[in-house]
Amino acid sequence: MPLVRISLFAGKPADYRRAIGDGIHQAMVETLAVPEHDRFQNFSEHDAGGIIYDPAYLGIDRTDDIVLVQITLSAGRKPKQKRDFYARAVELLAQEPGLKPQDLLINLIEVVWENWSFGDGKAQYTE
């Protein structure tokens, strides 16, 4: 179960946010073997100054359309799967909602199975 946190500046319409969530999820399904119905996303919108970023870090030109995506997921994906995910996410979000590839920053956090509880106070993956 990936837990996806998506941060962006406030003011984008609901369909823009939905397209970002849809694209990230589709990329995970296609490249990281995430089940289709395993979707948990948390959007955070920030006012000016609520996201601080370097507009040229590593020679990548970013704008205030920047989208920060942090995904907590179970450990075990291979480096190629992760690279494929990054590339597919950029491709899908460029199509809809039209996000520039330079404005998508992704961070994966891998955790062990016992670090998940899906409810009922249980660690379902280890019980």
DSSP 60: -
Helix (H, G, I), strand (E, B), or coil: what is residue 28?
helix
Rounded CA separation 75/86 (Å): 17
Per the CB < 8 A criterion, the answer to whether 1 and 116 are in contact is yes
Q: Which of 2, 55, 97, 101 is catalytic?
A: 2
Annotated catalytic residue 97: no
Rounded CA separation 53/40 (Å): 25
DSSP 32: H
Per the CB < 8 A criterion, the answer to whether 41 and 21 are in contact is yes
Straight-line distance from the first to the last Cα atom of the chain, in angstroms, rounded to the nearest whole number: 16
Active-site residue numbers? 2
